[in-house]
Amino acid sequence: MNILNHSILNTTLFCVIISGLIAFVSAPLLICFLEKFKIKRTFDNGSAKGIGHRGEKTGTPIMGGLLIVIVVLLVTLFFNWDQRYTYVPIGVMCLAAILGMWDDISNVFGKKRRVRHLDQISKLIKVHKNKWFRLWLIITLPWTLFRNIFHIFSPQPTRGVLPHEKILLQFTAGAITAWWIVFKLGQDWLYVWVPFSGEIYLGYWMIPIIIFIVVFLANAVNISDGLDGLSGGALISAFAGLAILSYFQGSLPFSVLNATVIGALIAYVYFNVKPARFQMGDVGSLALGSLFAVMMLAQNRLILIPFFGFIFLVEIISVILQTIWRYGLGKRLFKMAPLHHHLEFLGWSEEKIVMRFWLINLFMVIVGLWLAMH
Amino acid sequence: MEKEVLNISATGQKIIDSYLNMSIAGKVITCPYYTNLKKERAALKVFLGKGSAQEIINETKFLSQKENIDLARFSEERLYRFMVENNLGIDCSGLTIHILKAAYKEKSINLFKKIKVVSFLKNPWRWLVSQLRPIENISVRILADGKNSFLLKSLNDALPNDLLIRTNLRHVYLITKTEKENGIIKKISFVHAPRPKRPDYFGPGIFQKTVILKNNSLKELGEKINDEVIVKRLKF
């Protein structure tokens, strides 16, 4: 084993240990903090309402993902702060975490917010007595159209961040990632590696692709976070795959960053398995989903996303298909989406679903790593 | 005396029976009435009063599972209430379409391909929606439209699968049986799903009736069923 790789391995494992220990020690403190300020899942937010026995989860603290975000941020700041390689992944993670935190807190403490429908706006434009207000409505009509597109599929009124606000912020995170990868990391990142084939030049088409992947994966991990331990455990295998990949690529900063996440996730999942002491919340799921996307792209292994993030993709695709079936054909494809809810309705226990999803994702990560060797 | 009895096809009758005898949580009930008064769009068709009997049964069970409710402990009336309050039931045009779809399938005719809802040139979006979700877009008005059906000159010409449509196009009855003596119609049987007179009615929503006619006239039929109707037949 050459000295460089030994150094990477040494630092990588050290960061797993250190982040894990810090997270283990901090987790009970965070749980107390969340309990004290009553940042808890209530009955009418999340999926607790949809399934009868899920009422048990009412009162579980949310925003447990803060543990991972803060630990990863601190460990990276002290041990892995590299302007070229870790600024942007951490920055994007923090941006997504802020969005997630805003959503979590609004869901718990906020008021229901509604968005005016287009027909309401057009009526107001015709009849409102104040001509300046009517003018304002006309000027802001494109924004209203944009908002309403995202509200076609979501119920309202709702607490929390509205869909169009989420998309805008996620788009910003994706745009930052795209700028960094395309303009800062180098020309190599304008090529997409394909196993058994070599590379395909995509040039500046990478920009919309990167933005889409960051938004897509952030939401995929968010959607998957529906059962105790599900997304946390799957993310451990995903980031483990990334860490192994970056180790073989000889990239110290990426290897260490991935390892840091693993350590924090292990501690988080320890407290998140059923019965969960806390739940990730959007602060964690959006942050880690974004970070996962950034790392897959930064390590130029875009093609391996369906393998490393297999479970997340399956979950989000089940939601997309259910939506198409529901609105397009007026029928259910699944009893409930995402897929883990459908399996619950088929009688699978929560533990069975979580364990099997972990194993499937682990297996797919191994397949991905094998492909990466070619 | 020459007697002629014509019945709706076996598959059509099977559909009627499926709505009349819905087995839910150990009880056999008739499908309640529900119509989409709120003009909701894009919901599941089973919540718009257009679901098949099996879809309504499945959705009732699914809802009870979601809400952790044991339907076996409900009385019949409570079960009807649960279904209606959760928008589960069938309306007149939904019932008619499901029966006709099965009856025409026997003749290898795809009803949805034959019924014209809207022209593509007139409204491409609506046309696309009607192709993807045909049942939800076929109302009494569409059935009564001259593009899809023609008026029968006399009640005597009526046959099973023909439609008795209220003159204000707000309700439809489906003829299921005709009995003629010496070529004159004497009895006519139909099935329909009428809107309940009371908003707090929670009970069966589908009814079959046989009317005995003396004068073989539409007016007499209208008086006996307390409605003003015309007889139409689908063009295919």
Q: What is the pLDDT of residues A235-245, one digit of tens each?
A: 999 999 999 99
Total domain count, chain B: 1
* pLDDT tens-digit series, residues A194-204: 999 888 999 99
Chain B residues whose beta carbon lies within 8 Å of the beta carbon of residue A51: 66
* pLDDT tens-digit series, residues B5-26: 999 999 999 999 999 999 999 9
Q: Is A166 found in the same domain as A147?
A: no
- B226: helix, strand or coil: coil
The answer to whether A218 and A289 have CB atoms below 8 angstroms apart is: yes
Total domain count, chain A: 2
Q: Which tops the pLDDT comparison, A304 or A58?
A: A304
B159 closest CA partner among B181, B138, B189, B139:
B189
B68 at interface of A, judged by CB pairs closer than 8 A = yes
Q: Is A85 found in the same domain as A125?
A: no
The answer to whether B151 and B232 have CB atoms below 8 angstroms apart is: yes
What's the DSSP call for residue B105? Answer: H
Q: Is the pLDDT reported for residue A91 higher than 60?
A: yes
The answer to whether B64 and B143 have CB atoms below 8 angstroms apart is: no
Helices (H), A110-181: 118-127, 131-139, 141-151, 163-179
CA distances from A67 to A222, A272, A302, A349 (A): 16, 12, 28, 27
Tokens standing for residue B227: 């409605």
Distance CA B142, CA B157 (A): 22
Distance CA B16, CA B164 (A): 17
Phi, psi angles (nearest 5°) of residue A333: -90, -50
Q: Is A55 found in the same domain as A146?
A: no
Tokens standing for residue A170: 């996620």
Q: Is A287 found in the same domain as A206?
A: yes
Q: Is A180 found in the same domain as A119?
A: no
Which of B40, B41, B44 to mutate to probe the A interface, most A CBs <10 Å? Answer: B44
Domain closes at, from A130, A156, A182 = A156
Q: Is A166 found in the same domain as A139?
A: no
Identity at B92, one-letter amino acid code: C
Quickly tell me which residue has 């076609």 as its tokens: A152
Q: Is A224 found in the same domain as A283?
A: yes
Strand runs (DSSP E) across chain B, as ranges? Answer: 3-7, 22-24, 27-29, 149-151, 163-166, 172-181, 184-192, 207-212, 229-234
In B, minimum Cα distance to A330 occurs at B44
Its domain, for residue A140, covers 114-156
Q: Is the pLDDT reported for residue A185 higher than 90?
A: no
Q: What's the average model confidence in pLDDT over A61-90?
A: 92
B132 at interface of A, judged by CB pairs closer than 8 A = yes
Pairing of strands B229-234, B163-166: antiparallel
Distance CA A213, CA A303 (A): 11
The answer to whether B20 and B8 have CB atoms below 8 angstroms apart is: no
Please report which confidence band the pLDDT of residue B134 belongs to, taking 50, 70 and 90 as the band edges. Answer: very high
Q: Is A89 found in the same domain as A202?
A: yes
Q: Is A119 found in the same domain as A77?
A: no
- State the pLDDT at residue B199: 86
Name the interface residues of A facing B (CB cutoff 8 Å).
50-53, 55, 326-332, 335-336, 345
A87: left (phi over 0), alpha (psi -120 to 50) or beta: alpha
Q: Is A333 found in the same domain as A242?
A: yes
Q: Which tops the pLDDT comparison, A206 or B39?
A: A206
Q: Is A176 found in the same domain as A309?
A: yes
Percent of chain A with pLDDT over 70: 94
Q: Is A220 found in the same domain as A187?
A: yes
Nearest by CB: A52 against B67, B132, B136: B67
Tokens standing for residue B29: 């009930």
Quickly tell me which residue has 């702060």 as its tokens: A81
Q: Is the pLDDT reported for residue A46 higher than 50?
A: no
Distance CA B170, CA B172 (A): 7
Which of B66, B128, B133, B138 to mutate to probe the A interface, most A CBs <10 Å? Answer: B66
Chain B residues whose beta carbon lies within 8 Å of the beta carbon of residue A330: 43-46, 48, 50, 133, 135-136
* pLDDT tens-digit series, residues A293-342: 999 999 999 999 999 999 999 999 999 999 999 999 999 999 999 999 99
CB atoms A330 and B68 under 8 Å: no
CB atoms A330 and B133 under 8 Å: yes
